[in-house]
Amino acid sequence: MRLFSGLSAFPLTPTDAAGHLQADVLGRFLERIQAAGADSIGLLGSTGGYAYLSREARQHAVRVAVECVGGKIPIIVGVGALRTDEAETLARDAKAAGADGLLLAPMSYTPLTDEEVFQHFSAVAETGGLPLCIYNNPSTTKFTFSDDMIARLAKLPNVAAVKMPLPANGDFSGEMERLREMTPGGFAIGYSGDWGATDALLAGCDAWYSVVAGLLPAPAMALARAAQAGDGSEAARINDAFQPLWDLFRTFGSFRVMYVMADLLGLARIEPPRPILPLPQEARSRVGEALQSLKS
C-alpha cells in the first residue's frame, strides 16, 4: 500500500506541564494503532499539538515512535514551523530518526502569499528528502490552497500528496476529479474532518487522516474498511455510532475532546498545553455518553 493511503491515525502527543514528552504514554497510543492495523501513523499533526512543542520534544516523539513501531507501520511526521529554516531542521530531524514521510502546514503569524508558501514548501521538500504531504488546513493556518497552487506544488520533487479539508459544498467527487486532472499520476488526495470521512472514502479518496483513530483505532478501521469496500450501508451504520462524537468535535474542537477521551478510556490522564484549557465537567459527561454509544 502507498504511504499516503488508507487510514492514517493521528495520536495526541502526551506531555507534562513543562512540555516534556511522556514516552510511555505515547508508546501506549502507538501500540494500539498498530494492533488495529492502521495504514500509517500521523505523528505531530494538529492532534499531536506540534505547534506547542519544542524541537527537543518533537525529536523525542519521533525517536519513541520509530523505536515502538518503526518498520511495522509507516510514520508520517508533521514538520510545520513559523520559519522556513526551522521547518527544514525539523524535516532533517524526522528523516534522521527514521520517519517514512513528512506532513507540512504553512504556519504563520503574518498572512502568507502564494509565492511565500510555494518557496517554503519547495525548500522543506528538498531538504527533507522524504515523500511530503501538503497540509491544507485553513481553519488553523488561515491559508487556503487553491487547486492551482496544489497542482504547482505537486510538480516539485518529493511532494506526493495533499491532506484536504472537507469541501464546503460536499462535492468530494468533483473536487477530486479536478485535482487529479491537474496533478501527476499517483499524487494522493486525502481528507481530514472525521465527520466527513465516510463520504470522502465512498467517493474514492486515497486516505482518511483521522483524529479519532489516534485513540479509537479499531472502530475507525472498521469504518474505513467498510467505506473503502464500497459497503455504504455498513459504513453508514458505523458512522451513525460515531455521530455523537462528531458533534462534540465540531462543538468543542477535536483537540480538546481527545484529551477527555484519553482519560475516560483509561489510557492517560493528561491535559492540553496551555493556553488550551481542559473541557468543563458538563462537556466531559457528554464525551462519556458519546463513547458509550460506540460500545452499544
> Any idea which residues carry the catalytic annotation?
135, 163
Torsion of CA 85, 20, 104, 45, to 10 degrees: -170
Closest listed residue to residue 49, CA positions, set 107, 7, 101, 2? 107
Q: Please tell me the total number of residues recorded for the chain in this structure.
A: 296
Q: Cell numbers at residue 58, please?
A: 518533537
| Cα 60 from chain centroid (whole Å) | 19
Closest listed residue to residue 203, CA positions, set 230, 222, 223, 185? 230
Give the span between the Cα atoms of 59 and 169, in whole angstroms.
39
- Helix 114-128 to helix 84-97 angle, to the nearest 10 degrees? 30
Q: Does residue 89 have a known ligand-binding role?
A: no
CB–CB of 123/89 below 8 Å? no
Q: Cell numbers at residue 120, please?
A: 517554503
CB–CB of 33/236 below 8 Å? no
- Work out the number of other CB atoms within 10 angstroms of the CB of residue 138: 12
Annotated binding-site residue numbers: 47
Binding residue positions for pyruvate: 47
